[in-house]
Amino acid sequence: MNGPDIWHILLGNLGWGALPFVRAWRDPSVSELIGAAAGSVVVIGAVAVLALLTWAKAWRYLWTEWATSLDHKKIGIMYIALAGVMLTRALIEAVLIRTQQATAINAPGLVEPGHFAQLFTTHGSIMIFFMAMPFLTGLINYVVPLQIGARDMAFPYLNSVGLWLTVGGAALMMVSLVIGAFSTGGWSGYPPYTELAFNPGVGPDYWIWAVTLSSVGSTTAGINIACTIYKMRAPGMGWMRMPMFCWTSLCTAIMMIFAMPPLTVATLLLAADRYAGMHFFTNGHGGDMMNYVNLFWLFGHPEVYILILPAFGVYSEVVSAFSSKELYGYTSLVIATAAIAVLSFTVWLHHFFTMGQSADVNAAFGIATMAIGVPTGVKIYDWIWTMFRGRVRLTPPMLLSIAFMVTFTLGGFTGIILATPPLDYVLHNTLFLVAHFHNMLIGGLLYGLIAGYMYWFPKAFGFRLNERWGRISVVCWVAGFYLAFMPLYVLGAAGMARRTQEVFDPAFRPWLLIALCGAATLFAGLISLFVQLYVSIRDRHANRVPVGDPWDARGLEWSVAAPPPEWNFASIPHVGRLDAFYWRKRNEGAYHPADHYHDIELPKESACGVIIGVAAAACGFGLVWHIWWMAALSLFVIFVTTIARSFMRDVTKIIPAETVEAFDREWLAQARAAHPVPRQLEQSEINEGLAEWIA
Amino acid sequence: MDRVAPPLRHPGLNLADDPRDTRRRFESDVFGFWIFLMSDAVLFALLFAIYGTMLRGTAGAPGPADVFKIGPAFIETLLLLTSSTTFGMASIALKRDAGAGALVGWLIVTLGLGLAFLGMEAHDFVTMAAAGATPERSGFLSAFFVLVGMHGLHVTIGSIWLCVMLLQLATIGRDRGVKLNLLRLGLFWHFLDVIWIAIFSVVYLQGLIR
């Protein structure tokens, strides 16, 4: 065997040209330099983080306390940290996209077409699969077990596997910045464009494997969340006594279980075409790309409700807490949530009205799409009625909720426009569509995720976030959204196609410049979130809320210390009504020691999840570059780890009753010593997490 | 002595003496696997749908009537159905807490039947390939090989799982974890049977009609 053959076996299709630095050296254009700069940021960032961890001697701490942890709270926090990193990257890409379109009016602009296509593909793929999904999975992970009075998820180990599979997928996304190039096929990756015949490079392969890992991870998360809510509720916590966030989480989980397999099938069949020469979606040889489109949107439409329902849950909690009122129309909200979950499986075809079905079919799906607006409208009214005559405090999460109600309703109207097939024929594939779904995803989903992050942050870390920077951030997110996307409605109605690298109509220039300002404002919103986090950590001693109920809120999650102990509840609570904690505060008192303290069994740390995630990412990398030994070895590692784990019997640890009792009594002492804070002062430093109970 | 409610029991498990928490735990562990099977069922449903839409996408390559051999497919059906019965016998042995011999014996018979099924299926595939019916020839053949191959992959994983369980029975014995995983494996195995019945009807019998 001669030299090149060995290198090909070892490194597959990898070559020097895969590195953006080399490409920029060979062709120092602005476009290549931006690529090289992005690659450098990833490399330098990774090296800096590694160096910092080594310098701070934090490796052991991170490994034993975080990476291998099966504690649902830590897994939730890690999910959200991942979402934060990926949000930063994808938002920078968004600013680049806006800059490109604003400057490329009868001019080449910053980046060449292929690079621009990578930008909108990674922006979309990351925002959906590696920002929104991890963020909401993290929130659910953290909050739901606490809300239903459980000590952990139903399957703590599966939880860890799901997290690390998602991290593996995200790692593939980041690696694609440094080695090779990403797909240019958009976040939906439609064949036949993404087939070998038109896209022989590694881009679509990166997309396939990153999305597959995310999709499998989300399936496991869905199974876990659903099973947790079905089976782990505290005694007395009947279905209609669950907090609204649990209901929306349950519906989201059920949708994940049914909607993720279509995505997995779509990506795997595309992989079968690309790797094994099959003909599922090719031109000719009996391939049918419509199958892909149906599969993708059979996932993709439920997906948008998978994303939005947890946000609805957050708004329900936030509006109720900061209005000091029981959620108005709880039953109707539950029914509306379930109705949305069911209807979401009946509308996928509206994503391709123009792709050749008959007018009757289009009409049926158009009507189904408009029907979803009804339960959503019910929800909006319920939130408004919850605020009505409540003691509304305009905290940052509450501001976001109010901004959401207005923005989301606007987006709903443009949704009705797009759901009308004849209008869709005019507007599809224009910036009008882009404006519409950003209207729903920023004004609906992202506001909700940020509101949830701010609302539950004091619970997770034991101190409040800085309100001033919170408000600044909210203003940026809201103003930025309107500046960035209202012009796109205009441009779309004027006929500007989406994903355009160069613009030929100078009349579009002012609108594109406004949109660019909006993108910059949104970026400022993200920066102020980070500033808020920094300032809050700096001032944490003044803002501690150790008793754990800083907002005079209602769910069981507020009935324990902040941050909660690893075992959540010293004794499992008994639930007699909706908002049991709120009632208990006002009637029998919420801060009593347990009758008896028992030993508590908790899942022990495990490295298996991390190993599986790393191996899955390596397997994906090997497949992308056709490094077959790496793919095979990684698969083998996953297999062996799974089997080895099934042999382990020492997988739980016991927290002795004395430890539980000591912690609980110390916390109760803090609660007795704390000064109850009236609602109007809860954003000041006297808030120690003990609410003053005004009936 | 009156019983207020029947005790919580699962087929194949003898947990009546365990504390309430342990039984609840078991219930949740098995329920989770049911949910996984639902999600797996969606995967197969989609592959069936794809197969259905691609029946006519033969693109000049061999079609259903040319390549399907009902004889071997029927024998494979018998093998798999019998293996479900023998797994059922193993479950009964576990439930009755009969000697380890009966349980292990039935599991080994199940494994043998599963392997025989896989062997025959592999032989079918090789025969088809030799006749020029390979998955890269046409969309129809791609859909056929992926649908039936996905079922075969599941049976392969089930067989490996069976080997692991036999090893655990030998080294660990019938503890909580082993019982639980035997119950889950049973569900998995019967589920694959259901899928195969659909494959036999939709793929092979329908292929005969044409």
User: Regarding the domain delimited by A58-606+651-681, which CATH topology (the fold level of the hierarchy) does it fall under?
Assistant: Cytochrome C Oxidase; Chain A (1.20.210)
What pLDDT shows up at residue A4?
A: 65
Q: For chain A, which residues make up each domain, given as ranges?
A: 58-606+651-681
DSSP states of A508-534 as a string? GHHHHHHHHHHHHHHHHHHHHHHHHHH
Neighbours of A145 (CB within 10 A): 30
| Closest among A142, A68, A105, A102 to A653, alpha carbons compared | A68
pLDDT band at B2 (very low <50, low <70, confident <90, very high): very low
CA distances, A171 to each of A11, A42, A164, A178, B22 (Å):
19, 11, 10, 11, 38
Residue B15 lies in a domain: no
Quote the domain boundaries for residue B41.
20-209
Residue B204 lies in a domain: yes
Q: Which residue of B has its CA nearest to A292?
A: B50
Chain A nearest C-alpha distance from B208 (Å):
21
Burial (CB count within 10 angstroms: exposed 0-12, middle 13-18, buried 19+), residue B133: buried
Taking CB atoms and an 8 Å cutoff, what residues of chain A touch B61? 286
Q: What SS3 state is found at A69?
A: coil
Cβ atoms of A366 and A415 closer than 8 Å = no
User: pLDDT for A3-56, tens place per residue?
Assistant: 568 888 888 888 888 888 888 888 888 888 888 998 998 899 999 999 999 999
Token pair of A135, please? 């963020």
Residues of A at the B interface, defined by Cβ within 8 angstroms: 154-155, 158, 219, 222-224, 226-227, 230-232, 257-258, 260-262, 264-265, 269, 272-273, 276-280, 282, 284-288, 291, 295, 298, 643, 646-647, 649
> How much is the ipTM here?
0.94
CA distances, A353 to each of A297, A300, A362 (Å):
12, 15, 6
* The one-letter amino acid at B76: E
Phi, psi dihedral angles at A573 (to 5 degrees): -70, 155
Taking an 8 Å cut-off on Cβ atoms, the answer to whether B35 and A257 are in contact is yes
Neighbours of A320 (CB within 10 A): 25
Burial (CB count within 10 angstroms: exposed 0-12, middle 13-18, buried 19+), residue A2: exposed
What pLDDT shows up at residue B175?
A: 85
Token pair of A641, please? 């780890």
Positive/negative CA dihedral, B94, B96, B99, B102: negative
Q: Is the pLDDT of residue B58 over 70?
A: yes
Across the interface, of A219, A277, A291, the residue whose CB is closest to B50 is A291
What pLDDT shows up at residue B3?
A: 47
Neighbours of A555 (CB within 10 A): 25
Question: What is the signed CA dihedral for A58, A59, A61, A62, rounded to 10 degrees?
Answer: 110
Q: Which of A151, A250, A265, A642 to mutate to test the interface with B (most CBs of B within 10 A)?
A: A265
Chain B nearest C-alpha distance from A95 (Å):
38
Q: Which residue of A has its CA nearest to B157?
A: A639
What pLDDT shows up at residue A404?
A: 97
| Closest among A139, A85, A80, A695 to A455, alpha carbons compared | A139
Taking CB atoms and an 8 Å cutoff, what residues of chain B touch A158? 32
User: pLDDT for A542-594, tens place per residue?
Assistant: 999 999 999 999 999 999 999 999 999 999 999 999 999 999 999 988 899 99
* The one-letter amino acid at A28: P
**A192 preceded by cis ω (within 30°)?**
yes
Taking an 8 Å cut-off on Cβ atoms, the answer to whether B32 and A646 are in contact is no
Taking CB atoms and an 8 Å cutoff, what residues of chain B touch A219? 39
Across the interface, of A265, A278, A284, the residue whose CB is closest to B43 is A265
DSSP states of B173-199 as a string? -S-HHHHHHHHHHHHHHHHHHHHHHHH
Residue B79 lies in a domain: yes
Q: Is the pLDDT of residue B205 over 90?
A: yes
Taking an 8 Å cut-off on Cβ atoms, the answer to whether B24 and A287 are in contact is no
Across the interface, of A222, A226, A279, the residue whose CB is closest to B136 is A279
Mean pLDDT of B112-128: 97
> A169: which strand partners?
none
Name every residue whose Cβ is closer than 8 Å to that of residue B47 and which is 6 or more positions away in sequence: A265, B143, B146, B147, B150
Positive/negative CA dihedral, B97, B99, B104, B109: negative
CA distance B9 to B6: 9
Q: Which residue of A has its CA nearest to B46?
A: A262
Average pLDDT across each block of 10 residues of chain A; the chain has 695 residues. List them in order. 73 86 88 89 91 91 95 97 97 96 93 94 97 97 97 96 97 94 94 94 96 96 97 94 97 96 97 96 93 96 96 97 95 97 94 93 94 94 96 96 97 94 94 97 97 97 96 98 97 95 95 97 97 97 94 94 95 92 90 93 95 97 96 97 95 95 96 91 90 74
What pLDDT shows up at residue B96?
A: 78
Name every residue whose Cβ is closer than 8 Å to that of residue A231 and which is 6 or more positions away in sequence: A154, B24, B27, B28, B31
CA distances, B122 to each of A343, B84, B197 (Å):
42, 20, 18
> A653: which strand partners?
A602
For chains A and B, what is the number of CB pairs under 8 angstroms? 114
Q: What SS3 state is found at B138?
A: coil
Burial (CB count within 10 angstroms: exposed 0-12, middle 13-18, buried 19+), residue A193: middle
Name every residue whose Cβ is closer than 8 Å to that of residue B8 and which is 6 or more positions away in sequence: B15, B23, B27
CA distance A137 to A150: 17
Cβ atoms of B144 and B203 closer than 8 Å = yes
| Closest among A202, A167, A182 to A82, alpha carbons compared | A167
Taking an 8 Å cut-off on Cβ atoms, the answer to whether A232 and B28 are in contact is yes
Q: Which of A274, A646, A648 to mutate to test the interface with B (most CBs of B within 10 A)?
A: A646
CA distance B74 to B57: 25
Report the Cα A321 to chain-centroid distance in Å.
Answer: 23
What pLDDT shows up at residue B210?
A: 59
Q: What SS3 state is found at B117?
A: helix
CA distance A537 to A360: 58
Strands (E), A559-656: 600-603, 652-655
pLDDT band at B16 (very low <50, low <70, confident <90, very high): low
Q: Which residue has the tokens 């056709």?
A: A626
Taking CB atoms and an 8 Å cutoff, what residues of chain B touch A154? 28-29, 32
